[in-house]
Amino acid sequence: MNKKVTIIGYGKMGKGIEEELKRLGVEIHLIIDNEEDWNLYWEQFKKTDIAIEFTTPETAVQNYKRCFDAGIPLVTGTTGWYDRLDEVLEMAKKTDASFIYGSNFSIGAQLMFQLTSYFGKLMSQYEQYNCEIHETHHTTKKDAPSGTAVSLAQSLLPELNRLHEWHLAPPLIDNSLPIYSHRVGEAIGEHTVTFSSSIDSLSITHQAHNRSGLVQGAVKALFWLPNHPGIYNFSEIFMSIK
């Protein structure tokens, strides 16, 4: 890709993105990691061809606005801001932005979303089974539950008429899908959907062994977006990205 890329956020994912782009011979135009960097490099940033963002729920939306206002296509993997999704999508539409957002850029996780939806459809007729989601991440992860866990819940709820919403557990709430969040050491990310009854249990799990799947999926989205302008959830397009 012969384009100047800006990396917004220089944590574990930002550094992984940098390493992958260098391996692929892509020019890294800028790395922006804080408000001071924005002030210092704003004029230079406006010469960016495309940006990729992994920051925090508190800073993400302002980062998006800056990219939209500057007319710079953006890929983001930050989660924890989806309560403002309608606002962000409206900003993107008004500025005719090109924007890919997603709770998880791993192909394995995307396949789990599809499996989970089918799992819910199969189990919808067996009301003796209760459903719950467990997610485990490193202790420095900012949001809980994880964006991936919320996406899993959103893929289940349309299939399970007996559940009307999800919630962060404990406690248990009638007609609500519990999500249990665990923060352990340097855990990369594990998500499990379980249906259980007094007789037996069935589970499906996605466990990330490292961040390579996340990095590679995000970089593929970065390569794909310039040739496909528009606004996309990664879950809608991941099968089109090679």
Catalytic residues: 137, 141
Q: Residue 33: in which H helix or E strand, if any?
A: none
Instruction: Give the sign of the dihedral formed by CA 117, CA 123, CA 127, CA 131.
Output: negative
**CA atoms within a 13 Å half-sphere pointing along the CA-CB vector of 198:** 1
Q: Can you tell me which residue has the tokens 């394995």?
A: 108
Torsions phi, psi of 58, nearest 5? Answer: -75, -30
Q: What is the DSSP string of 58-101?
A: HHHHHHHHHHHHHT--EEE---S-GGGHHHHHHHHHHTT--EEE
And the tokens for 206? Answer: 């996605």
